[in-house]
């Protein structure tokens, strides 16, 4: 799972490493390469050059580029989770449990989008088609360090616990919520990257409001919900 290496959003020149710690040094170098140029910039040769060793030495720890990229992806994922947790930690406790649970969901979304904007190389690396595919059904806290998907699951479960999200509406709500936030983050990293700051902020707020309304299940009548669901299924 996670490498335990935290690059702290800071890129550095060639780094020295302690004897016996070459693997971690290579992972850190790979994450820094990803931060600078995205997943396509990660290679055994480039990481070895950044650390100051030969590619042959690096191959003693990684079988190839895909394995090294997988380690960089885990490091980037850890950074994304950290950005989301930072937003959660900055929140002020409220007496209204529903208000607090909704605010926590908003904080996670805010942290996710902020990370995508601040670290596009790492964000693209997390969701790169290169490297090994992670199974999101795995235990997201098995190593004591929750990842972004696990944080989202916990937030939605909290909304159920406080009575905002009905139990029958909980299944797959994480996919809908993730799609909403990730889609907006991808758009702001792509065709909407030049959107004015004030419009960008309004778009983020509107997206979270639509998500919040949708989770409550009060926006559509049962008849409208069935009609919409039928129309969607008809085209799948």
Token pair 């409220």: residue? 94
Q: What are the DSSP calls for 189-232, one per residue?
A: HTTTTTS-HHHHHHHHHHHHHHHHHHHHT-SS-HHHHHHHHHHH
Sign of the torsion angle spanned by Cα atoms 74, 76, 82, 85: negative
175: enclosing H helix or E strand = helix 173-189
Architecture (CATH level 2) of domain 76-234: Orthogonal Bundle (1.10)
Nearest alpha-carbon partner for 5 in 145, 151, 148, 150: 145
What's this model's pTM, rounded to 2 decimal places? Answer: 0.84
Terminus-to-terminus CA distance in the chain, angstroms?
A: 34
How far is the C-alpha of 112 from the C-alpha of 223, rounded, in Å? Answer: 34
203 in Cβ contact with 184 (< 8 Å): yes
Across 1-10, 98-107, 124-133, the highest mean pLDDT is recorded for 98-107
Q: Per residue in 108-153, pLDDT tens? A: 999 999 999 999 999 999 998 765 555 544 545 546 667 899 999 9
Res 85 pLDDT > 90: yes
Q: Per residue in 21-41, pLDDT tens? A: 899 999 999 999 999 999 999
5 in Cβ contact with 24 (< 8 Å): yes
How far is the C-alpha of 208 from the C-alpha of 84, rounded, in Å? Answer: 15
Looking at residue 128, its pLDDT comes to 86
Residue 25 has which token pair? 């040094």
Q: How many CB atoms lie under 10 A from the CB of residue 159?
A: 24
Token pair 């972004």: residue? 148
How far is the C-alpha of 92 from the C-alpha of 226, rounded, in Å? Answer: 39
């Amino acid at each position: 799972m996670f490498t335990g290496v935290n690059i702290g959003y800071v890129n550095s020149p060639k780094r020295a490493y302690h004897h016996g710690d070459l693997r971690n040094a290579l992972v850190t170098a790979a994450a820094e390469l990803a931060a600078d140029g995205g997943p396509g910039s990660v290679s055994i040769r480039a990481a070895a050059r950044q650390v100051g060793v030969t590619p042959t030495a690096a191959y003693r720890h990684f079988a190839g580029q895909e394995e090294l990229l997988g380690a960089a992806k885990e490091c980037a994922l850890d950074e994304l989770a950290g950005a989301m947790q930072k937003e959660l930690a900055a929140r002020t406790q409220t007496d209204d449990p529903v208000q607090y649970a909704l605010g926590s969901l908003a904080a996670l979304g805010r942290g996710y989008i902020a990370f995508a904007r601040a670290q596009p190389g790492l964000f693209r690396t997390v969701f790169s088609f290169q490297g090994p595919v992670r199974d999101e059904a795995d235990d997201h806290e098995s190593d004591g360090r929750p990842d972004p998907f696990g944080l989202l699951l916990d937030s939605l479960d909290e909304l159920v616990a406080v009575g905002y999200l009905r139990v029958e509406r909980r299944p797959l709500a994480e996919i809908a919520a993730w799609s909403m936030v990730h889609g907006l983050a991808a758009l702001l990293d792509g065709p909407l990257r030049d959107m004015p700051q004030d419009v960008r902020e309004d778009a983020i707020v509107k997206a979270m409001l639509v998500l919040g309304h949708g989770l409550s299940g009060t926006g559509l009548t049962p008849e409208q919900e069935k009609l919409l669901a039928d129309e969607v299924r008809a085209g799948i």
